[in-house]
């Protein structure tokens, strides 16, 4: 199974360069750039994860790096449920219409969620007590930093990254024809990876809790505070 060290050796062999031509650090950067680019725009099953936290009575806003993980990003949240009931996702602008003065005008059982400032998960209305909230989100894939590190996707696709790295390397040394060929091979490989692992994987809510009726009809619209 190709790891960072193996991929770097393969890149060197194909491009016929050594450490005096291109440093290990540069090739590692090319491999990681290709890796992050390949997995940037899809809901990869190997990045799906979930976390559970308890609400604080009267508190609507929660910093995602505190309640999920230190590298979590609010925009990568996919589903939120409270006590096993899936909450509706609100557009931020809709939430601000509901809560024009900030905070939460009232509290109760959360029915919906949104994100704010790229860092916060917001529940609406603010929970009126302690509740268990489950969050399904896409974690960030860490860069490959050690020679033994392997990409998170299946090993049969690891070879794709060497072509992504070669695209950068050939461009650096001015071999634009080879760079074009490497780019085509890389993009074709990523397309196959996407078709295999994303399009063939049915979506799952990954909801925890005593109630798993995640396909229940949701309310038509939220009422404004003055209604």
Q: Where along the chain do its domains lie?
A: 4-39+141-197, 47-138
Per-residue pLDDT, 220: 45
pLDDT higher than 80, residue 92? yes
**Confidence label for 200 from pLDDT (cuts 50, 70 and 90):** low
Average pLDDT, the chain: 86
The fraction of the chain above a pLDDT of 70, given in percent, is 84
What's the whole-number mean pLDDT along residues 133-140? 96
Question: Which DSSP category does 223 fall into?
Answer: P
**Confidence label for 42 from pLDDT (cuts 50, 70 and 90):** confident
What's the whole-number mean pLDDT along residues 179-196? 94
Say if residues 125 and 57 touch (Cβ distance below 8 Å): no
Question: Which DSSP category does 147 fall into?
Answer: T
Tokens of 5: 């060290």
**Confidence label for 82 from pLDDT (cuts 50, 70 and 90):** very high
pLDDT higher than 90, residue 211? no
* Residues contacting residue 12 through CB under 8 Å, at least 6 positions apart: 18, 22, 27
pLDDT higher than 50, residue 215? no
First to last CA, the chain: 61
Hey, which of 8-12, 83-87, 213-217 has the most confident mean pLDDT? 8-12
Question: Which DSSP category does 74 fall into?
Answer: G
Whole-model pTM? 0.77
Backbone angles phi, psi at 145, to 5 degrees: -115, -25
What's the whole-number mean pLDDT along residues 116-145? 94
């Amino acid at each position: 199974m190709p790891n960072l060290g193996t991929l770097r050796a393969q890149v060197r062999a194909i491009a016929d360069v050594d450490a005096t031509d291109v440093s290990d650090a540069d090739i590692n950067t090319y491999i990681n750039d290709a890796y992050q680019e390949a997995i940037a725009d899809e809901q990869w099953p190997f990045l799906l994860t979930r976390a559970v936290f308890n609400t604080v009575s009267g508190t609507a806003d929660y910093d995602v790096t505190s309640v999920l993980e230190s590298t979590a990003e609010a925009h990568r949240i996919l589903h939120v449920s409270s006590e096993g009931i899936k909450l509706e996702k609100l557009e931020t602008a809709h939430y601000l219409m509901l809560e024009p003065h900030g905070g939460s005008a009232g509290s109760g059982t959360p029915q919906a969620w949104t994100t704010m400032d790229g860092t916060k998960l917001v529940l609406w209305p603010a929970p009126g007590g302690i509740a268990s909230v489950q969050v399904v989100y896409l974690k960030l894939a860490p860069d490959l930093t050690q020679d033994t590190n392997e990409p998170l996707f299946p090993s049969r696709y690891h070879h794709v990254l060497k072509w992504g790295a070669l695209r950068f390397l050939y461009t650096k040394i001015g071999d634009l024809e080879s760079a074009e060929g490497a780019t085509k091979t890389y993009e074709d490989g990523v397309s196959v990876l996407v078709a295999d692992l994303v399009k063939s994987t049915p979506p799952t809510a990954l909801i925890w809790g005593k109630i798993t009726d995640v396909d229940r009809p949701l309310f038509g619209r939220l009422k404004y505070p003055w209604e």
